[in-house]
Amino acid sequence: MRDEDIHACVRILKREILRWKEPVVGVVAKASRDPFQILISTVLSLRTKDQTTAEASARLFRLATTPTAMRAIPRLAIERAIYPVGFYRTKARHIHEICRDLLVRYDGRVPDEIDELLTLKGVGRKTANLVVTMGFRKPGICVDIHVHRISNRWGYIRTKTPAQSEEILRRRLPRRYWLIYNDLLVPYGQNLCTPVSPHCSQCKLVAYCERVGVVKSR
């Protein structure tokens, strides 16, 4: 894929994703614009389906919506509220530890810098970038498995890991697309450009895609 092709791809994706549900973290972000709720919802979303994450987030936020209030909830109560998200016991412990660190180190506020967010328990680059972009509207590129896979499938980048993908995208992707890139590629990757046997016959981006690694498609 040529550098100039990304503009056409973004225009097409903006239209195409309207037929699918928005990822749950984006829904939370639009509903509250609260960096703390975005942080916690993103932690819950890791290795968990969106519907499960949405329901767990709603149950948890009915109990507490601030670090102070959530820290006061017994860990077992958090576990019950977020079950059956993946690794719910570990995530309940991480939520307690995140709230403790926010209270002790940041006066109860969520930091707006990626490097500081990465010091919180259970927070990786994907989560940190989502909080920075959705919670604070600061430049960042959230690279999850969909962004990593599709960007490489297109031939737009050629990397081995999401961390490498973020590094290259920061150099190559036009800055005006940074905030929306994840929002566009996640629903496309969930519904059409799937990991195995993608729906290439239905894809409006086929003229731009090199189909790197695609062995079988529909």
Task: Determine whether 183 is an active site residue.
Answer: no
Residue from 144, 160, 183, 216 carrying the catalytic annotation: 144
Please name the amino acid found at residue 213: G
Task: Determine whether 144 is an active site residue.
Answer: yes
Residue from 3, 34, 115, 126 carrying the catalytic annotation: 126
Q: Would you list the DSSP string of 84-148?
A: TSTTHHHHHHHHHHHHHHHHHHHTTPPP-SHHHHTTSTT--HHHHHHIIIIIH--------HHHH
- Report residue 200 as tokens: 């290439």
- Residue 5's CB is within 10 A of a number of other CB atoms, namely 16
Q: 27 near 54, Cβ under 8 Å?
A: yes
18: left (phi over 0), alpha (psi -120 to 50) or beta: alpha
Residues that are catalytic? 126, 144
